[in-house]
Each structure stands twice: as C-alpha cells, then as structure tokens.
C-alpha cells in the first residue's frame, strides 16, 4: 500500500506539473508580447522590464518554465494588477467558497444518490425502480447551468425560498449554508443520477454475495442486511466516481458562481479573463487543477485502502 501511495502521489504531482507547464508554454509562445499576456494590460513599462528579466523571457522555453516553477515554489504567484495585491491572496480567498460549493454538491449527490440507488436495488424490477432509472439518466443529462438558471428562477425569483445572490454573511454559518443550498444542488443534481446508478448496480452485485445470504439465513432483519451490510460495500464505487467527478463539478461551479453571483475560483477566473488579468487566470488554474488532482488522488487511495484488488489495476 505504501508503494502504491507513493507511486500515485508522484504521478499526481507529475500531472499537475505537466498540465500547468503546457498552459504556461502556450501563454508565452502565443504571438504578441508575452509580458502583456502574463502581466495584464495594466502593468507599467518598468514592471514589464523587471518581469522580462526575472522570468528570463529571452531564454529558451524550458528555462522559462523552470523560472516559473521556481517562483511558484517560493510562493510567488505574481501580482494581481487589477486589485493591486499578490495573486495568491486573490486565489486563496476565492478557493474556500468553491471548495464549499463542490462539497455541498457532493453532499447532495451522495445523500440523494445513495438513497435512490439503495431504494432501486431493494425494489428491483418494480415500476418505481424503472422510474428511478429514467430519472437518474435525466439528471445526468440535464446541463448543470440550465439547472442552476431554472432553480434560480423558480426557487429564488418566483418562490423566494432562497436568496438570489451572494455567499451569505461572513462568519454566519446558517446564512452561509442557506446561500449554499441552491447552487450546490444545481451542481450536484447530475451526480445524483450517477451515484444512484452505481449504488444500485453494486448493491445488486453485493446482494448476490454469500455473506449476504448467510446474514439472511441467520434471520437478520431484511433492513439491516440491505442498509447495513450491502450498502456499505456498494458505496465504495460511488466514492471513486465522485472523486473523479470533482473536475466536472469545478466546471459546473463556474456557472453556479456566475448565476448566483457568488465569489469563488470560477467567478475569479471569469472576471480575470474579461479583464485580461492573466496572472490571476494562471494562478487560479494552478489551484483548480491542483485541487482536482488531489481529490481524485484521495478518492483513489481510499478505494485502494478499502479494496486491495484495486491496487493491482491500472
């Protein structure tokens, strides 16, 4: 397990390194003055000259990438010229909002998805099982930003059950959660479908296993067998799917943050793109990719720890 963990961590670091380096290379090799691209239009001539020297823009591309990572490793992600503060500050003040949003979405999809999936497996072949199956596919198909827009219209604008904008009062946990409910639901809905299907399939598989038959033969209550024994095993594959799904959720979070006017990585990147504020774009990309790769890694390791068969597979 230790060897597997180390292998996976190295792979994850390599992926982040290459993904970001490639993006940086594209940014500096595009036609035009790379200082405009990397510093934004508001940078003064002095800053440009200084940066040109520090970043070694006259050097070959691989040296520039080395310089870039050298700066990142010392904690210097550049300067956010529009807000006049370090990029790291902008990015890390936005990150918690996006993380909360993504975990809110995971909460929705895990609770609703596991309930639906377990219910379907328990009532296999029934009319309600068919309905749940169709609903799951419909949830998967529904574009999350349309779900966000429609739920904003129905629950916030028409019914006024939920607030339309913002992330709530700082420090007030109830207000925060209240503002989080609708946007995280919009992101999570698609994953309700995925989780429900996977839980249903793996639970049906688990229900056919010998230990379940034994538990039944011993006269344990049906409910205990299904919801305690079978479900426990059936949740595992859902963990993996949600871990990998965080990449998709980060994309959906961009829309949820814009539709519900919430702060976060998505709206930060969106604002920075329209303001040509490239250092922030680069920093936010780095953090977003790092967050996604870390989550996928953790999901992978949890699975490997719980199911040793997983370690030998690629």
Partner 1 sequence: MTAFRHTLMGRLMADPLAVFAMAIIALLVVSALLADVIAPHDPAAMNLVDRFSPPSSTYWMGTDNLGRDTFSRLLQGGRIALYVALTAVTISGLIGLVLGMLAGFGPRWLDNALLFFFDTLRAYPTIILALALAALMPRGLSTVIIVVVITSFAEYGRVVRTQTLSLKNSEFILAERAMGASFARIVFHHILPNVLGPFFILAAMNLPVVITIEAGMSFLGIGVPPGTPSWGATLKDGFDYIRTTPWILISGGLPLILATLGFTFLGEALRDQLDPRLRKTR
Note the residues at the interface with partner 1 (CB under 8 A).
Answer: 11, 14-16, 18-19, 22-23, 26-27, 30, 37, 134, 137-138, 140-143, 145-146, 149-150, 152-153, 157-158, 247-248, 250-252, 254-255, 258-259, 265-266, 269-270, 272-274, 276, 278, 281-282, 284-285, 288-289, 292-293, 314
Helix (H, G, I), strand (E, B), or coil: what is residue 170?
coil
> Judged by CB, which is closer to partner 1: 140, or 220?
140
Residues 6+ apart with CB under 8 A from 212: 206, 225, 229, 230
Query: In the 8-state DSSP scheme, what is residue 41?
Result: T
DSSP string for 102-125: HHHHHHHHHHHHHHHHHHHHHTTT
The nearest distance, CB 57 to partner 1, in angstroms, is 17
The nearest distance, CB 51 to partner 1, in angstroms, is 18
What is the distance, to the nearest Å, from the Cα of residue 139 to the centroid of all Cα atoms in its chain?
18
The nearest distance, CB 285 to partner 1, in angstroms, is 5
> Judged by CB, which is closer to partner 1: 79, or 277?
277
DSSP string for 66-103: HHHHHHHHTT---EETTTTEEHHHHHHHHHHHHHHHHH
Tell me which residue has tokens 């520090």: 54
The nearest distance, CB 33 to partner 1, in angstroms, is 13
The nearest distance, CB 132 to partner 1, in angstroms, is 14
Q: Dmax over Cα atoms in the chain, in whole Å?
A: 80
In whole angstroms, what is the distance from residue 201 CA to residue 1 CA? 27
> Judged by CB, which is closer to partner 1: 19, or 99?
19
> Judged by CB, which is closer to partner 1: 63, or 153?
153
> Judged by CB, which is closer to partner 1: 215, or 256?
256
């Amino acid at each position: 397990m230790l060897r597997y963990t180390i292998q996976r961590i190295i792979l994850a670091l390599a992926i982040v390194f290459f993904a970001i380096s490639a993006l940086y290379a594209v940014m500096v090799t595009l036609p035009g003055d790379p200082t405009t691209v990397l510093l934004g239009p508001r940078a003064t001539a002095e800053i440009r000259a200084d940066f040109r020297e520090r970043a070694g823009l006259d050097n070959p591309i691989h040296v520039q990438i080395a310089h870039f990572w050298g700066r990142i490793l010392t904690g210097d992600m550049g300067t956010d010229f529009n807000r006049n503060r370090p990029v790291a500050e902008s990015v890390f003040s936005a990150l918690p909002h996006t993380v909360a949003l993504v975990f809110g979405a995971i909460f929705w999809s895990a609770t609703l998805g596991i309930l639906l999936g377990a219910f379907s497996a328990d009532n296999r072949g029934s009319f309600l099982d068919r309905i749940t199956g169709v609903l799951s596919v419909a949830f998967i198909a529904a574009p999350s930003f349309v779900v966000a827009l429609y739920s904003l219209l129905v629950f916030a604008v028409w019914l006024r059950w939920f607030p339309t904008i913002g992330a709530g009062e700082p420090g007030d946990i109830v207000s925060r959660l209240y503002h989080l409910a609708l946007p995280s639901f919009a992101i999570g809905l698609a994953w309700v479908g995925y989780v429900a299907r996977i839980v249903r399939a793996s639970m049906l598989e688990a229900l056919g296993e010998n230990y379940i038959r034994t538990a039944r033969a011993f006269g344990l209550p049906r409910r205990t067998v299904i919801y305690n024994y079978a479900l426990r095993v059936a949740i595992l594959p859902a963990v993996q799917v949600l871990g990998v799904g965080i990449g998709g959720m980060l994309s959906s979070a961009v829309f949820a943050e814009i539709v519900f006017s919430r702060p976060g990585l998505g709206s930060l990147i969106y604002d920075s793109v329209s303001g040509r504020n490239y250092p922030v774009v680069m920093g936010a990309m780095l953090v977003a990719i790092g967050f996604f790769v870390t989550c996928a890694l953790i999901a992978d390791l949890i699975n490997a720890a719980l199911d040793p068969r997983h370690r030998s597979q690629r």
